[in-house]
Amino acid sequence: MLYEPREDSYLLGKQVSKCAFGDVLDIGTGTAIQALAAANSKYVRSVVAVDINPAAIEYCKKNIRNPKIAFKKSDLFDSVSGQFDTIILNPPYLPADPNEPAESAIATTGGRHGYEIMERFFGQAKDYLEDAGVIIFLISSLTNPLKVESIMIDHGFTFKRIARQKISFEELYVYTAEKSPIIKKLHGIKNITFLAKGHRGIVYSGLYKGKKIAIKVDLSPGHVSRVDMESRWLKILNKKNIGPKLLHSAKDFLIMEYIDGERLFDYVQRSNKNQIRHIIQDVFEQCYVMDMLQINKEEMHHPVKHIIITAEGARLIDFERCKKALDPKNVTQFCQFLTSGSFAYGLENKGLIINKRILKFAQKYKHDPSRKNFDSILEEI
């Protein structure tokens, strides 16, 4: 069953005629309406047109002879190679409808919510788009455009809505998307993949010269960029073997070693008392070094997301909130963390009961952060 061109096809086709250039990839080509619109432009050199539906490819090969266009069966980018100046997509964009037959759903249903196919698409598109390239695509008000926009941001794209049309109970939108300026700067880094999103930034993983790296991007750097601050702290702390190794820094992004390991809670659950004790001491030693440097990490009272356990020991991450402080609180905050809340409960379950006495030693350390007072804290672990 082929998708016969309709309002969405014509709305997108108009923009394709205006915007497509260079080497073009048309995904979900159907009856090739977008591929033909592109091929008719004098700015277009070649078109690769793919569809997951073998019937669509068979139809196109039989009925369309255009020297600029090559047809191929592919699930999104799976059978595609190379990079393109223009990528066109008129995806199946509706939320799943249990009453719809599978043969038409392939052309209309984008997943349970409708936008899942866009998640897959933008997860892969970067590697197939030239740095100066453009993606032209269409979705509907039923696809959840805000969600699709946040998917684009997460995957390092900027976007513009360039056309819209109301049709009975929905509205159609045509977008263009481009690689964000930062993503364009990350030349030589492969497999850039969204990892996590914070208040102001995004973290990606990537591969550089065969090594896995992490890239932190400040989305709204403003006057003081948090990422810039983190680079400064990492430069100091790396000298003491604390934090992921900083590999490159700029005002609005940094590249650092990717720390592969386990979260603290998971580690505690599967480890024995001695292993846990060793890790806690490791974290304490790093807290002590930061105290001596008068750098406050500001979050050691609840560091569960900021400690990763690797084969080499505990590694602290996320230094963007660090502050210079005359009375740093890393050690004392970590004491509080160990004696309260669900983490203390988890330790108790492993037979590691930390006596509240540690808080008295922490008080003493607070007034006199000497090695001797620090050691008396360590002895309580």
Q: How far is the CB of 58 from ligand SAM (least distance, A)?
A: 12
Binding flag, residue 174, ligand SAM (CB under 6 A): no
Of the pair 111, 206, the CB lying nearest ligand SAM is at 111
Q: Are 271 and 262 in contact (CB under 8 A)?
A: no
Q: Are 308 and 263 in contact (CB under 8 A)?
A: yes
Q: How far is the CB of 112 from ligand SAM (least distance, A)?
A: 15
Euclidean distance between CA atoms 289 and 283, whole angstroms:
10
The helix (H) or strand (E) run that includes residue 5 is: none
Q: Where in 204-243 is the site for ligand SAM (CB under 6 A)?
A: none
Binding flag, residue 172, ligand SAM (CB under 6 A): no
Euclidean distance between CA atoms 325 and 293, whole angstroms:
9
Block residue for tokens 């660090």: 322
Of the pair 51, 85, the CB lying nearest ligand SAM is at 51
Binding flag, residue 53, ligand SAM (CB under 6 A): yes
User: Which H, E and C letters describe 99-167, residue by residue?
Assistant: CCCHHHHHHHEEECCCCHHHHHHHHHHHHHEEEEEEEEEEEEHHHCHHHHHHHHHHCCEEEEEEEEEEE
Q: How far is the CB of 12 from ligand SAM (least distance, A)?
A: 6
Binding flag, residue 339, ligand SAM (CB under 6 A): no
314-333 footprint of ligand SAM as x/- string (CB under 6 A): --------------------
Of the pair 28, 156, the CB lying nearest ligand SAM is at 28
Q: Are 139 and 164 in contact (CB under 8 A)?
A: no
Q: Are 214 and 202 in contact (CB under 8 A)?
A: no
Binding flag, residue 283, ligand SAM (CB under 6 A): no
Q: Which of 15, 34, 86, 249 binds ligand SAM (CB under 6 A)?
A: 34
DSSP string, 212-250: EEEEEEES---SS-HHHHHHHHHHHHHTTT-SSPEEEE-
Binding flag, residue 5, ligand SAM (CB under 6 A): yes
Binding flag, residue 176, ligand SAM (CB under 6 A): no
Euclidean distance between CA atoms 117 and 160, whole angstroms:
19
Binding flag, residue 3, ligand SAM (CB under 6 A): yes
Q: Which of 25, 76, 174, 182 binds ligand SAM (CB under 6 A)?
A: 76
Binding flag, residue 56, ligand SAM (CB under 6 A): yes
Tokens of 242: 């604390």
Residue 94 bridge partners (DSSP): 109
Tokens of 133: 């390239």
Of the pair 140, 180, the CB lying nearest ligand SAM is at 140
**Of 52-60, 181-189, 286-294, 316-324: span binding ligand SAM (CB under 6 A):** 52-60
Q: How far is the CB of 28 from ligand SAM (least distance, A)?
A: 2
Q: Where in 90-119 is the site for ligand SAM (CB under 6 A)?
A: 90-92, 106-107
Number of residues that bind ligand SAM (CB under 6 A): 22
CA-based max dimension of the chain:
84
Euclidean distance between CA atoms 377 and 330, whole angstroms:
13
**Of 25-33, 129-137, 231-239, 335-343: span binding ligand SAM (CB under 6 A):** 25-33
**Of 88-96, 194-202, 252-260, 325-333: span binding ligand SAM (CB under 6 A):** 88-96
DSSP character at residue 356: T
Block residue for tokens 């990422």: 227
Q: Which of 18, 45, 75, 302 binds ligand SAM (CB under 6 A)?
A: 75
Residue 194 bridge partners (DSSP): 204
Block residue for tokens 């069953």: 1
Of the pair 3, 173, the CB lying nearest ligand SAM is at 3
Q: Are 310 and 260 in contact (CB under 8 A)?
A: yes
Q: Which of 52, 64, 247, 292 binds ligand SAM (CB under 6 A)?
A: 52
Of the pair 28, 201, the CB lying nearest ligand SAM is at 28
Q: Please report, as ranges, the residues that interact with ligand SAM according to CB under 6 A.
A: 3, 5, 9, 12, 27-30, 33-34, 50-53, 56, 75-76, 90-92, 106-107
